[in-house]
Amino acid sequence: MTDNGNTQQPGSDAARAGDHGGRPVPLDRGHIEGTGGIPQHFADPGLPAHVHREADLSEKAAKKAERQVALMFIISIVATLLFIVAYFAIPQDYRAYVPYIGTASISNLALGLTLAISLFFIGMGAVHWAKTLMPDEEVVELRHEQRSSDAARHAAVDGVYAGGDAAQLGRRPLIKYTLGGALGLFAVPLVLQLAGGLGPLPGAELSQTMWRKGLRLMRDPEMLPVKASDVTIGSVYHIMPEGIDQQEHVLEQKAKAAVLLMRLDPADLKVPKARDWGYHGIVAYSKICTHVGCPVGLYEQQTHHLLCPCHQSTFDVTQDCKVIFGPAKRPLPQLKITVDNEGYLIADAAFHEAVGPSFWERG
């Protein structure tokens, strides 16, 4: 048994008590200490003997540690100076090949690395200093229970009641209830202002897009109309409605109106409605995923599957874009199309249902 003077002797500590016999305890008692019978437990042997470091025993070792710490601080200083040089000397747009990284901005690399070295070695110096030269004998501090004494608790409770009595809170219920009402309501104007001002009500906007009968299907992003005869079997086009670039809120309209156009062999379209709403095997579907609204950007030409890159919902174009895998539930809405007298593809009607993610009143 070793003892360096700081050792506590908690062997008799009641907190450690409890019988080790493995018998059940009654429910109403939990496991309160001191009910366990024979105090059969080991005693805490106390802190082990302190082992001194080399720098504690030898002036030479301490001097060496001092120089190591100073060296690290010097490295930091040098790196800081290099940062300043790099800041002024390296042009911002200078890029060069760096092994293992590839072509990189040399300014970014030099500034980042010199900053890193200057910071890192301050830290290493300080830690090395603490570990080699600062006292490493452990210190013991006593803990006290968090709970206040009963007297202090009573004083606190009495203080609250005395305050209430002094303010005549109990004797003047009129004040008590009106104050409660006022405090309960004061936040309402603030909340109302915020909630009322945040945004307009959605109205029917979520169920409507720009599409209406007669609008041409335009290729995105070129904004050129599409001739039905130019759409070969197997091809796919990103489509926006004619005139969307003249809209006041282009992105808001795009977020609803984006459409994918594909041409399949009409025999592959298994659902008669899908075939009728298309034109000679050319079909147009909303590009906005019915899950959470990512653009369904991946078309698998061989299987006729549309895949959403965000959460992998998979839609089968041959089955009217029914969900065949993934977290989405509803098929992509189809846009009914036809051709105008110049042979360009046009919408034959607006979307018949809301596009994009579901919402409560969607029905």
Partner 1 sequence: MSTTTTPKGAAGLRTDDAKPQTTHGPVARTAGGVAGWVDDRTGAAKPMSYLLKKVFPDHWSFMLGEIAMYSLVILLLTGTFLTFWFVPSSGLVPYNGSYVPLKGVVMSEAYRSALNISFDVRGGLVIRQIHHWAALLFIVSIMVHMFRVFFTGAFRKPREINWVIGTLLSMLAIVEGFTGYSLPDDLLSGTGLRAAEGFMRSIPVIGSYVSYFVFGGAFPGETIIPRLFTVHVLLLPAIIVGLFTAHILLVFVHKHTQYPGPGRTNNNVVGYPLMPVYTAKAGGFFFIVFGVIAAIAALVSLNPIWMYGPYDPSPVTAGSQPDWYMGFADGALRLVPGFLEFTAWGFTFSLNVFIPAILLIPVLYGLAGSYPFLEAWVTGDKREHHVLDRPRNAPTRTGLGVMALVFYFILFFAAGNDLIAIKLGLSINDITNLLRLSCLVLPPLSFWLTRRICLSLQRRDRELVLHGRETGRIVRTAEGKFFEVHEAIGEHERWALVQHATPKVLELQASVDGNGVRRSGTSTERLRAKVSSFYFSNRVDAVTPAELAAAHHDGSTHEALHEPAPTWDRELHGGADERPDTDAYAPHEHAAEGALREADPEAETTSTH
Q: Where in 205-224 is the site for partner 1 (CB under 8 A)?
A: 205-206, 220
Q: Report the half-sphere exposure of 94 (CA within 13 A, side-chain side).
A: 14
Neighbouring-strand partners of residue 337: 347
- Full DSSP string of 221-282: TTTEE-BGGG--TT-EEEEEETTGGGSSSHHHHHHHH-EEEEE--GGG---HHHHHHSBTTE
| Contact call for residues 319 and 270 (beta carbons, < 8 A) | yes
Give the residue, chosen from 5, 15, 150, 173, that forms a contact with partner 1 under the rule CB under 8 A: 15
Write the interaction track for partner 1 spanning residues 254-273; mark x where CB under 8 A is met and - where it is not.
Answer: xxx-x---------------
Q: If you ran DSSP here, which 8-state letter would residue 288 be given?
A: B
Choice between 317 and 339, CB closer to partner 1: 317
Asked if 151 is part of the footprint of partner 1 (rule: CB under 8 A), the reply reads no
Binding string, 46-75, against partner 1, x = CB under 8 A? xxxx-xxxxxxxxxxxx--x----------
Q: Residue 300 belongs to what H/E stretch?
A: strand 298-300
Using CB under 8 A, which of 5, 34, 93, 96 touches partner 1? 93
**Closest separation in Å from C-beta 173 to partner 1:** 34
Q: Which is nearer to partner 1, 235 or 312 (CB)?
A: 312
Q: Answer for the pair 216, 345: CB distance below 8 angstroms, yes or no.
A: yes
The full length of the chain comes to: 363
Residue type for position 204 = A
Query: Binder to partner 1 among 5, 34, 99, 135 (CB under 8 A)?
Result: 135
Residues 165-194 close enough to bind partner 1 by CB under 8 A: none
Torsion angles phi and psi, residue 98, rounded to 5? -120, 130
Q: Is 361 in the site for partner 1 (CB under 8 A)?
A: yes
Q: Give backbone dihedrals phi and psi of 203, rounded to 5 degrees, phi first.
A: 55, -135
Q: Is residue 10 close enough to count as binding partner 1 by CB under 8 A?
A: yes
Residue 201 interacting with partner 1 (CB under 8 A)? yes
Using CB under 8 A, which of 141, 222, 248, 342 touches partner 1?
141
* Interaction between residue 300 and partner 1 (CB under 8 A): no
